[in-house]
Structure 1
């Protein structure tokens, strides 16, 4: 299926597999490689009230995947024949409140990301990460921040849309730097000056995804950052244009007693089910 479509088009091709006890982790890895998508979500529905979902790429298992949560919840609503569902999904050590609603152009899904921590870390621009992104210091529009909803990544603001589109990272070098510093990847973005919209690109070669078509968790991180720095945590993030797969993710951040939390949403276009034989 296509997760986080924009105006009924594009989106991130995402595989969702209804898991069962017979599948081993070797099976999960093999299926993830065969699907041809950047991410595969395996959903265990044995606990009907709170299904458990695990995420795999060709490189291994991830602890979390935002657009994978959106895709998985859309499949669960589709299988139920209901028009709307409010529930939860469990991933590695975390439970996310979810909402799914049928729309004419697909299934709209929202989930609560939880607390995002933000920091200005000295290592953010040390060790050649900015150079590995094919950027110069003058290309950076503001401070680079580390954001973590569970797994840290860099938020890298660039001065304009043309700079964003021109980035050609050295993926091998970037993967090495991110692994050494413990970052999932680099979420580079440019804010439109007159609307609450951002264009973004997510580079995560350290987890086997050179460029992500849609990265919902990073959109939530950006919303948290904007709330922290400007007081307005509502944003629509456009990704995938350089990959000719336009995607859109909405995120809204609020302050709570526990910290800044974000709610993230996207629309899923479900294709026909596929049998992997």
Structure 2
């Protein structure tokens, strides 16, 4: 079936509006099949597609579903940035506070018009952390093709789950990050064996300097993601947990290896239920419109 009204959004662009992760956003069609939805991202030339459902859930969330070319996702951070940017362009407002329902969870969102685009923040919720088992860690590191000199000298891999678990893998510096050439077949097999969405290879931020990262998720049809916002929130939770700080705020640059420079912001804090995070990014809507609220 055809989807005539697909909007492409560059989600999580750099502060000057460059780059970002192209994301397709469209209103859902109740007559569509999931196979139809999976085809939208490929047709739009994007890695992910978001589908805006009608009405609201009982707890006030606007339903949104996310698909890659191969699977439906339980959540998508940069997709949420794209969705809320599109929702704002459909109003005459300068700021839109709303709630989104995705993957069985309803959470708060805010979208604000800025000179370089639309700034979006959303509550990621509780991020669960654990240390990987030795065989789990060895399989992922081997599939990434890291050399003996690449691992970070003080940080160590963690499994982080805001819903879907993924492995966070620290490396020494940006040169090591750019050298990563994963064996995609082995990485796919390892992620499926251990139930992982993918792996987020990163250089930690230091002081006011942003971190850098690359996200590999071939098991869900995304060999390398331009920007992975949820994993950035996971990294903020990990840094909070390992440093003992009360709060953490980070910026992580992504997409450089793909020629699509991107940036994701995240903050983490401790609460009664565990470590909770907020994730944000700047979006540029390629073809949106202002309307009546």
Give the structure-1-normalised TM-score: 0.94
Tell me what 1:140 maps to: 151
Structure 1 counterpart of 2:187 = 174
Give matches, 1:52-63, under 5 Å. Answer: 52-63=63-74
The 3 A distance-change label for structure 1 pair 149 and 196 is: farther
Which secondary structure does the structure 1 equivalent of 2:251 belong to? strand
For the pair 1:31 / 2:43, whether they are aligned, the reply is no
The 1-side partners of 2:42 and 2:136 are apart by 31
> Which whole-Å CA distance do the structure 1 matches of 2:268 and 2:209 have between them?
13
The worse-fitting range, judged by mean Cα deviation, of 40-49 and 182-191 is 40-49
Match of 2:4 in 1: none
Map 1:128-277 → 2, pairs under 5 A: 128-141=139-152, 142-230=155-243, 231=245, 232-272=247-287
SS of equivalent residue, structure 1 residue 85: strand
- Per-residue CA deviations over 1:211-251 (Å, capped at 9, x if unaligned) read 10000000000000011111252110100001110001100
Correspondence for 1:110: 121
Query: Offset at 1:20?
Result: 2.9
Aligned to 1:125: 137
Give the gaps of 5 or more residues in structure 1.
Answer: none
After TM superposition, give the deviation of residue 30 of structure 1 in Å. Answer: 2.4
| Deviation, structure 1 residue 23 | 2.2
**Partner residue, 2:13:** 5
Alignment partner, residue 44 of structure 1 = 53
- Alpha-carbon displacement from aligned partner over 1:39-64 (angstroms, at most 9, x marks no partner): 00001132295210101101121111
Distance of 2:27 and 2:282 partners within structure 1: 20
8 Å contact 1:130–1:136 — kept in the other structure?
Answer: no
Determine the C-alpha separation between the residues in 1 that align with 2:204 and 2:122. Answer: 23
SS of match in other structure, 1:236: strand
Task: Check whether the contact 2:61–2:107 (CA below 8 A) recurs between aligned residues.
Answer: no
Match of 1:210, SS state, is strand
Tell me how far apart the structure 1 counterparts of residues 224 and 108 of structure 2 sit (CA, whole Å): 28
| Cα RMSD (Å) | 1.4
CA deviation after TM superposition for structure 1 residue 196, in Å = 4.9
